[in-house]
Structure 1
């Protein structure tokens, strides 16, 4: 066989398709690394909730991931509408999108609110003052205001509160714990789409899906 024929044959050999298990593992590893990575597209996500008469959605920051137990966490103001929605309807959808890799992850979760317990205390301690500043607002999120309101005491302006000043925001801080019931993976490509579902509850199973 000539060198040119060998080269032609090697080009024709395609990389093996990923297994369901490898896709699931890689997806969780990407989520786990996202909170500490400034470049990860999975650092932020859309949280979709519902009420008895409409759907709702907003962007939040992914704060922590437990790949073994299949849990993720994010923070919010305890007075926000999403907290009331999740208390009434604990099931939510978390949507992640990586524009560069063209990968979407959709997680169906059951949520639990933490405000006055060790979970909220521990995560509050890890929050830097820049993030704590958002919890110093005297106004309830979503409330009508007579003029544009920055979401924190106006005298702070572009300045950060001191550590002592930031502690006033602790009473407004909440952690949303999300137990992942299932995760759906979608990769868009000109060569063909790849879609799979990884279910964890009520039973564990992995299946390919039509895109």
Structure 2
């Protein structure tokens, strides 16, 4: 019998698409690992809020993720306009994009502000002096200035503050806690797009969506 006709002991590889549950789990694991990696695309996200003139959006850094409880956290200056917006309307949208994997995650969240409690204290304590530097700004974020302003005391220049100096920024530091109400997943591909939604509140539900 020719070699080409010999029976093969190798089974063909079965390729199957992930289930909704597998996709949801993987998405949360990718989010959870992002804060620890400087190069992970999910380390930064767009936060969209409601403003008097319509929608408002800006980039922030993802600081912490609790995949089991479905919570994420980010930091902000307590004087920033987004704090006022979130106090008036606490629902926001978080948007993540990974260029390499061609994956977008869109989270609808309900936010809670932390400034003078253990949550803010713990996250401030874990923040290195370089991260604390911008909270030393004497000027309110978004306020008009006569000339470019670096966002921290100009006397610091390229230097980092000392640990003691950085503590002066604590009063301007805030943590935004985000309880995730739903997550929407979108994967772009030439073979076809994949879109799904994972709802957590008011009831838990996983569904496929048309892209």
> How would you bin the TM-score normalised by the shorter chain?
over 0.9
Find the counterpart in structure 2 of residue 138 from structure 1: 138
Query: Secondary structure at 2:166's aligned position in 1?
Result: helix
Flag as ranges the 4+ runs of structure 1 deviating above 2 A.
1-6
Give the drift of 1:49: 0.4
Find the counterpart in structure 2 of residue 156 from structure 1: 156
Give the drift of 1:53: 3.3
Find the counterpart in structure 2 of residue 97 from structure 1: 97
Give the drift of 1:2: 3.8
**Uncovered stretches (5+) of structure 2, i.e. residues with no partner:** none
Query: Secondary structure at 2:116's aligned position in 1?
Result: coil
Could you tell me how far apart the structure 1 residues matched to 2:115 and 2:200 are? 27
Give the length in aligned residue pairs. 208
Find the counterpart in structure 2 of residue 73 from structure 1: 73
Find the counterpart in structure 2 of residue 21 from structure 1: 21
CA RMSD of aligned residues (A): 1.7
**Are 1:122 and 2:127 counterparts?**
no
Q: With structure 1 as the length reference, what TM-score do the two structures score?
A: 0.95
What are the Cα deviations for residues 139-178 of structure 1, in whole angstroms up to 9, with x where unaligned?
0000000000000000000000000000000000000000
Find the counterpart in structure 2 of residue 83 from structure 1: 83
What are the Cα deviations for residues 169-208 of structure 1, in whole angstroms up to 9, with x where unaligned?
0000000000000000000000000000000000000000
- Equivalent residues of 1:51, 1:88 under 8 A apart: no
Query: Secondary structure at 1:167's aligned position in 2?
Result: helix
